[in-house]
Amino acid sequence: MPFEQGQEVFIKNAPKGLIGTIIERRPGDAHLPEEQAHYEVRIEDERYYRSTDLEAIPEPEPKLRLYSEEWMAELHRMVEAGQRFAANTNDLGARDQFVEAGSRLGWVVPMTDADHARGK
């Protein structure tokens, strides 16, 4: 998937993990397949990185309207998944459902590699 100008990316193979903003695809790479292309990325200065060294940072999901039918369904899903996970901490599906539902409610913010690199 090509990266877009202005898109934030996590630079996976950087020493401490860096976050940058796509400026543009290197003009000389127009004929190359995406996985071999380089992008100019603004960090403190601009550098070119191979596209395989970049990871898109997903946009946050919009939160559900408080107490709406969908919000109540997610609350029920989060509570049920939390109870299942508390009963069996090896149930990673329950953990994932808990985090996903909590994220949609705006109560849980999952840590990503990009967040870790930012020190959050």
Output the pLDDT for position 30. Answer: 86
The 10s digit of each residue's pLDDT in 86-95 is 999 999 999 8
Whole-number average pLDDT of the chain: 81
> Is 113 a residue whose pLDDT tops 80?
no
Q: What is the mean pLDDT of residues 23-32?
A: 91
For the chain, the domains span 8-56, 69-118
Output the pLDDT for position 58. Answer: 67
Is the pTM for the entire model greater than 0.85?
no
Q: What is the mean pLDDT of residues 38-63?
A: 77
Choice among 53-57, 77-81, 90-94 with the minimum mean pLDDT: 53-57
Q: What is the mean pLDDT of residues 85-108?
A: 87
Asked if residues 105 and 76 have their Cβ atoms less than 8 Å apart, the reply is: no
| Closest to 51 measured CA to CA, from 27, 31, 26, 16 | 26
Cα(9)–Cα(11) distance, rounded to whole angstroms? 6
Output the CA–CA distances (angstroms, integers) from residue 19 to 9, 16, 80, in the order listed.
Answer: 6, 10, 36
